[in-house]
Structure 1
């Protein structure tokens, strides 16, 4: 299974759960699993993170080579399927316009193009004002999961080493 990470996975990890300063094992796990072909994200997510101008931006610049997949013809071929599903729902026009311009739209298209599992902190919601990734994944029969479920499924272990 290949996991495709939403921006909120990186951002919440840095801000809330796995700070770069106190839980480097999480970030090493991401790099190791990316190298093994199991974890990736997309260029638009990388762009969102780069706009932050903080230590996460530095981490992406220093370690993100290849992790943020480019939007190619196979991905672009899925834009129609994603936009058709979204416009066929009961979302407000402003919600649709916003979704079609943000990384979430591209993330879904990437996952559709390659059969990847989307990883996000978002939860499904019945709201006409905001389109949530899990709702779109369900509507398009895409797998999605939380970061915690991904870590458990992949048996990640962040264990302290012995002190000298």
Structure 2
């Protein structure tokens, strides 16, 4: 990994899948600890953040695993920014209205979307002008779930996947 980030303003907000999928697949703590250190380095440089509701979602699995330990004992409290802002709540409401009024998605998909953190992280990204980092992909045909990039597209929120974020930051693991 590069030793020091150059960016000093917030650019990225991370979705729960970045943490969960990275832990389970590409960047397991015992195989690529540098990934997790990179998140901390770039957070401390002010480049990336996540939100309180993502933290809650990550911890809701109750797995008592390395990810839960990292969230509870290693990640700084400042990594998990608050969504208790009127502007975020307002945009979240707009996003929920759009999803709930859509005839495209199933009622189960709408209910699931309403209970997870996706709308909140998208609203936070919109309000703060950040790029949302997610493993989900745009899929306008999908009806049984509401892909986060579909919401991002509708509300003009930039998004990318974890690999593109790492490339954007010029991160290299060796």
Mark yes or no: TM-score above 0.5: yes
Which position in structure 1 is the counterpart of 2:136? 122
Structure 2 residue ranges without an equivalent (≥5): 1-9
Which position in structure 1 is the counterpart of 2:7? none
| Number of residue pairs the alignment of both structures matches | 159
Q: Distance in 2 between matches of 1:80 and 1:22?
A: 40
Q: Distance in 1 between matches of 2:101 and 2:45?
A: 38
Question: Structure 1 residue 4 and structure 2 residue 16: aligned?
Answer: no
Question: Structure 1 residue 112 and structure 2 residue 105: aligned?
Answer: no
Which position in structure 2 is the counterpart of 1:93? 107
Q: What root-mean-square deviation, in Å, do the aligned CA atoms of Structure 1 and Structure 2 show?
A: 1.4
Q: Tell me whether 144-153 or 67-76 shows the greater mean CA deviation.
A: 67-76
Q: Distance in 2 between matches of 1:143 and 1:55?
A: 30
Structure 1 residue ranges without an equivalent (≥5): 160-164
- Conservation of the 8 A alpha-carbon contact between 1:14 and 1:56: yes
Shift of residue 10, structure 1, vs aligned partner: 0.9
* Secondary structure, counterpart of 2:115 in structure 1: coil
4+ residue runs over 3 A deviation: none
User: What is the 5 A alignment of 1:1-164?
Assistant: 2-51=11-60, 52-65=63-76, 66-73=78-85, 74-89=87-102, 90-125=104-139, 126-159=141-174
Q: Taking structure 1 as the reference length, what is the TM-score of the superposition?
A: 0.90
Q: Distance in 2 between matches of 1:48 and 1:80?
A: 19
Cα offsets for 1:120-164 (capped at 9, x unmatched): 1111121221100011101111100000000001100112xxxxx
Shift of residue 85, structure 1, vs aligned partner: 2.3
- Conservation of the 8 A alpha-carbon contact between 1:45 and 1:103: yes
